[in-house]
Structure 1
Amino acid sequence: MNEETKQTELDGLQDQLDTNMTNEQAEAANSEEMTAEADNSTATEESLEQQLAKLNDTHLRLMAEYDNYRKRTLKEKSDLIRNGGEKVLRELLPVVDDLDIALANIDTAEDMEAVKEGIRLIYSKFTDYLSRQGIKPIETAGVSFDEELHEAIATFPAPSEELKGKVIDCVKKGYTLNDKVLRHSSVVVGQ
Structure 2
Amino acid sequence: MSKEDMVKEAVEEAKAKAAEAEKNEADQKEPEEKADAAEDETAQTEADSMDEDSAGNDAGENESEADEDSEEESSKTEKKKFFSKKNKKDKKDEKIEELTDRLTRQMAEFDNFRKRTEKEKSQMYEIGAKDIIEKILPVVDNFERGLASMSEEERTTPFAEGMEKIYKQFMTTLEGIGVKPIEAVGQEFNPDFHNAVMHVEDEEFGENIIAEEFQKGYMYRDSVVRHSMVKVAN
Report the TM-score, using the length of structure 1 for normalisation: 0.57
1:127 to 168, 171, 179: 171
The alpha-carbon distance between structure 1 residues 66 and 22, as it changes in their structure 2 partners (threshold 3 A), is same
Question: Which residue is 1:167 aligned to?
Answer: 210
Question: Which residue is 2:232 aligned to?
Answer: 189
Question: Which residue is 2:180 aligned to?
Answer: 136
The alpha-carbon distance between structure 1 residues 188 and 117, as it changes in their structure 2 partners (threshold 3 A), is same
Question: Which residue is 2:49 aligned to?
Answer: none
2:71 to 29, 34, 51: 29
Matches within 5 A, 1:25-174: 25-63=67-105, 65-66=107-108, 69=111, 119-147=163-191, 149-158=193-202, 161-165=203-207, 166-174=209-217
Q: Identify the range of structure 1 (124-133 vs 46-55) with the bigger mean alpha-carbon deviation.
A: 46-55
For 1:82 and 1:176, how far apart are their aligned partners in 2?
17
Higher helix share: 2
The alpha-carbon distance between structure 1 residues 36 and 52, as it changes in their structure 2 partners (threshold 3 A), is same
- The Cα shift of 1:17 comes to 5.3
- The Cα shift of 1:185 comes to 2.1
| Contact in 2 for aligned 1:149/1:181 (Cα 8 Å) | no
- The Cα shift of 1:45 comes to 2.0
* Unaligned residue ranges in structure 1 (runs of 5+): 1-12, 100-110
For 1:84 and 1:138, how far apart are their aligned partners in 2?
19
For 2:99 and 2:85, how far apart are their aligned partners in 1?
21
- The Cα shift of 1:76 comes to 5.7
For 1:181 and 1:58, how far apart are their aligned partners in 2?
44
Amino acid at match of 2:78: A
The alpha-carbon distance between structure 1 residues 23 and 51, as it changes in their structure 2 partners (threshold 3 A), is same
**CA displacement 1:40-85 (0-9 Å, x = unmatched):** 1221122223223333443454455556656666666666666779
**CA displacement 1:90-143 (0-9 Å, x = unmatched):** xx9xx9xxx9xxxxxxxxxxx9x7765555443322211122233322222334
Rg larger in 1 or in 2? 1
- The Cα shift of 1:168 comes to 1.8
* Unaligned residue ranges in structure 2 (runs of 5+): 1-55, 141-153
For 1:139 and 1:173, how far apart are their aligned partners in 2?
8
- The Cα shift of 1:30 comes to 1.0
Q: Identify the range of structure 1 (161-170 vs 117-126) with the bigger mean alpha-carbon deviation.
A: 117-126
For 1:141 and 1:84, how far apart are their aligned partners in 2?
28
Identity percentage of aligned residues:
20
Amino acid at match of 2:76: M
- The Cα shift of 1:31 comes to 0.5
Amino acid at match of 1:189: V
Equivalent residue pairs, number: 158
